[in-house]
Chains A and B, each alone.
Chain A
């Protein structure tokens, strides 16, 4: 029997109640999207809250979406953009964070502040300038354009979070590496990065979700058929006068899956801390 000195059943109960309530609110739209994607058109409008019954069950939305061969291509685009952007954000963000946290140089604090400005000012304010730049460099309607923008968008937060974590990596450990003859790059890649893996996973999750869900930049920078992302691709089913709700809901349900898989992969890293026993 466990003791009750620090936990009262009432307080624990209230905490759980609040958390469960929040979870329900957060999950409900997703739930609604998913159940309705499996219903026929009439059932969606007549009883939107009802789970699919044998009489109302229909895969017509999925057939429409998957029947459009382009949709696989859209997924591929989203994947390429998201994965490459995350990798770039993690690599460059971590390197900048390492430099800012490890080395003493003139203007260090100022540089850190400059990098952090990106967190406070939304990148979309610069859309016109970005578009002009992309046009000038001939990158419009390429995935490269999106990757560049998303990398820029993700790096400030990455630097902010990672430099805090890197400061917590023991100096002695890095110095031990220096005495053992590791180069600064080896210290970064072989000692520091493995130790801050949970932080890297956090940054990856925070970076990944807005990129995957973004509609703005694909619409402006890469609206061509060849470069459409899933979010933009789903828009073809939303017309000014007629909207194919079956297809829209099916497309959105499908779009949840890959991000869920990525999230699970990163979340595992979040939990698996191997820092224990590094020092002390």
Chain B
């Protein structure tokens, strides 16, 4: 079990308000990801849920019970930190067992749970080692193991992959996804990396400047961003924004088109453009164009294409994939 309900959570440090009233509902077994730029309050929100920071006001319920005044250890949560935060003077096994020992769990039970977690994460050969003797990936697995043995209602992850190198990050991402499928546990995960968010989440919460911008499944956010911020934040390369007036659209203020929704031709098309720069990535080719109508335009083509700077091309947007935003930066549906 593990549902979570936040009602108008606010957090201020002195005069500086970091969370400006967050409402959120997480159902049992969901994988929810908080994503947003640095300083948007996503880590603070996670720490409020963990009980490491006191909220200034608001209500926080785990499984229907109000926990806003409950200390972290009694909330039935476990947390995995970006820096792993393993106890350096304890062995891997003791690192995992400490929380249970502290809670007065039966010895036999501790053994069983640690054994189960360590085999799940293939940590068996390392149980007697200290954290200093492990690699980064292994340390992160120990940190995850320490969370698993507590059998929490909620798993909290605070940018767990940021300290890993690219290859390990993909591998650990798969492990976390697998873990979620197997444990069917509720997980809340903070990241600034939208790829992690898109690939792992059942539900993404986009935060900006202490407010929730949009909550939805990855594809909802991609296909129907609620406002200009979400449209710009989700998707890479970033969506192109064009002043609606330049396209003769009187009702909208801004029109957005994703780089992958623009077709390119050497002979004819809607906007005549000059190629400024080309990035060949193998699977994709990213072109930066300068057009008279739209200004700078990013275009993403699939596969390899032999364009080079200063080529003259014609770009045509896919009309069905245009996103239109009003003067308040909200999407016009």
Contact = CB atoms under 8 A, between A and B. Distances in A.
A180 B82 contact: no
Contacts of A279: 83-85
A274 B89 CA distance: 7
B52 interface: yes
B168 to A, nearest CB: 14
Contacts of A172: 81-85, 158
A179 B88 contact: no
Contact of B81 (A176, A182, A186, A277): A176
Given A176-B79, A277-B133, A181 B99 contact: yes
A278 B131 contact: yes
Nearest to B74: A181
A180 to B, nearest CB: 4
B72 A195 contact: no
B56 to A, nearest CB: 14
A276 B102 contact: no
- Max chain B C-beta neighbours (<10 A), residue from A170, A179, A275: A179
Contacts of B78: 179
Given A170-B85, A176-B79, A178-B72, A277 B163 contact: no
A194 interface: yes
A166 B150 CA distance: 28
Interface string B39-73: 00000000100111000000000000000000111
B132 interface: yes
B253 interface: no
B306 interface: no
Contacts of A191: 87
B212 interface: no
B182 to A, nearest CB: 22
A180 B99 contact: yes
Contact of B88 (A180, A186, A277): A277
Interface residues of A, number: 22
Chain B interface size, as a band, is 20 to 34
Contacts of B71: 178
Interface in A173-224: 173, 175-182, 186, 191, 194-195
B226 interface: no
A179 B83 contact: no
B88 A278 contact: yes
A278 B288 CA distance: 45
B85 A180 contact: no
A182 B102 contact: yes
B277 interface: no
Nearest to A186: B102
A194 B50 contact: no
A181 B81 contact: no
Contacts of A195: 88-89
B132 A175 contact: no
B131 A277 contact: yes
Nearest to A191: B87
Given A175-B47, A186-B102, A277-B134, 6 more contacts: A180-B98, A181-B73, A275-B88, A278-B86, A279-B84, A279-B85
17 contacts: A172-B85, A175-B50, A175-B79, A176-B81, A176-B146, A178-B51, A179-B99, A180-B102, A181-B99, A194-B89, A195-B88, A275-B88, A276-B88, A277-B131, A277-B132, A277-B134, A277-B139
